[in-house]
Amino acid sequence: MNFSDLGLASALQSAVADMGLVNPTPVQAEAIPHVLQGCDVLVQAQTGSGKTLAYVLPVLQLQMASAVARDANAGSWKVKTKRVTQVLVLVPTRELATQVSDVLRDLARPLSQSIKVGTLFGGVSINPQMMSLRSGADVVVATPGRLLDIVDHNALHLGHVQHLVLDEADRLLDLGFSEELQRILALLPAQRQNLLFSATFAPAVQSLAEALLRNPERITIAHTEAHAPDIAQRAIQVDEKSRTALLRHLIKTHAWKRVLVFVATRYACEHVANKLYKAGVFATAFHGEMSQGARQDVLAEFKEARWEVLVTTDLASRGIDIAQLPVVVNYDLPRSATDYTHRIGRTGRAGAHGEAVSFVTAATLSHWQLIQKRAQVQLSVEVLEGFEPNEVQPPLSPLNDGTGGIKGKRPSKKDKLRAAAAAAARAE
């Protein structure tokens, strides 16, 4: 199958060919015809499977038809009218907003119809973004918070949106974004096409996702051997204090030129990056408390291989596409199996081989076992010569039930109080 079999306009086929793409990925082959038919779609497909093009191509084609009608209404005098936003793409991070916007602009540039793409995200001044919308925008890619700020300033109206896309939909539907998302949905027309794309859908957000959709086409691209990313996964047991030395050893031994290292906190980003840099490894930090300009510069430099190591939080675990990234390291284990899937999905993209290495300490061994169970992987925990662990696994207690901090399984404050009361009662 090739892109011409999917019902795409010849102009878009040419634009895709210019990107060096010949055959659609499975998710693109399944999703594009349904989107073109106007169906609501719920898509779950692994990271690196081509989900962005699976919605960008068909919504651009739908927007091309609207652009023809708009230009016809302008008349022979080409009277300039303010563009009406008909496509809204919501994403959870600034980096993903920029990335999706770049793909849209690259594909729209050679089209005969003029399609303007607006990009809205926080962390930078709101004024230039409002100025960019003075003549309107056909397609808007935005993070929820900044979108609402723009709407509150009366710089954008959403009453004509015909196509709503939630990219990384599970993140947008969880508690962190739910209130903002509900406010945005209230501003949209009731009759619209809804497209939800994500690599994972936790049970807690599955019902919320389905509540948004009307008779949706459900597309799930299974992790078959034929379609699974080529990622070699490893787990290495190491003492907590030896993790940085082990990381340096692996970088040197395997001659890794670019490594994405995940840690738990902003402080750990700076701390680990500084220790590596002082040891002669060209490393830098990347986290949410950096300015947007600094984040853009660091990410661009890492993509250009000007940094050997990028130490980051889960900020970089979703949506960011770094071509030919060979290695991902979980210096700190992720909080959930879902986050594990997204983290390691930064490597092994577009058919390339990748490697994912997880450091397991005595204190996180139970946590690692739960991640494996939920991610449906089974790895032998290695011990490397010279890094044999001496720490022992801490005993379980009423306040430490061995979940290791897995999301949804950690005891709440009330649970802890109940457990402590029960333990006190047993002691009496």
4-16 tens-digit pLDDT: 889 898 999 998 8
The domain spans of the chain are 3-220, 230-382
Q: Given this model, what pLDDT does residue 73 score?
A: 57
- Range scoring the smallest mean pLDDT among 75-79, 133-137, 152-156, 371-375: 75-79
Please determine, for residue 223, whether its predicted confidence score (pLDDT) is greater than 60: no
Please determine, for residue 424, whether its predicted confidence score (pLDDT) is greater than 60: no
Q: Given this model, what pLDDT does residue 72 score?
A: 57
- Range scoring the smallest mean pLDDT among 147-151, 199-203, 239-243: 199-203
How does residue 185 score in pLDDT terms, banded at 50, 70 and 90? very high
Q: Given this model, what pLDDT does residue 242 score?
A: 96
Please determine, for residue 394, whether its predicted confidence score (pLDDT) is greater than 90: no
Q: Given this model, what pLDDT does residue 237 score?
A: 96
What lies within 8 Å, CB to CB, of 349 at 6+ separation is 47, 48, 229, 321, 322, 323, 325
Mean pLDDT of 254-269: 94
CA distance 132 to 126: 10
How does residue 289 score in pLDDT terms, banded at 50, 70 and 90? confident
Q: Given this model, what pLDDT does residue 70 score?
A: 60
Which comes out higher in pLDDT, residue 206 or 375?
Answer: 375
Mean pLDDT of 381-388: 95
202-218: per-residue pLDDT in tens? Answer: 776 777 788 899 999 99
Please determine, for residue 68, whether its predicted confidence score (pLDDT) is greater than 80: no
Please determine, for residue 427, whether its predicted confidence score (pLDDT) is greater than 50: no
Indicate the CATH number for domain 230-382. Answer: 3.40.50.300
Q: Which CATH superfamily is domain 3-220 in?
A: P-loop containing nucleotide triphosphate hydrolases (3.40.50.300)
**Nearest alpha-carbon partner for 100 in 88, 83, 84, 82:** 88
Which comes out higher in pLDDT, residue 119 or 288?
Answer: 119
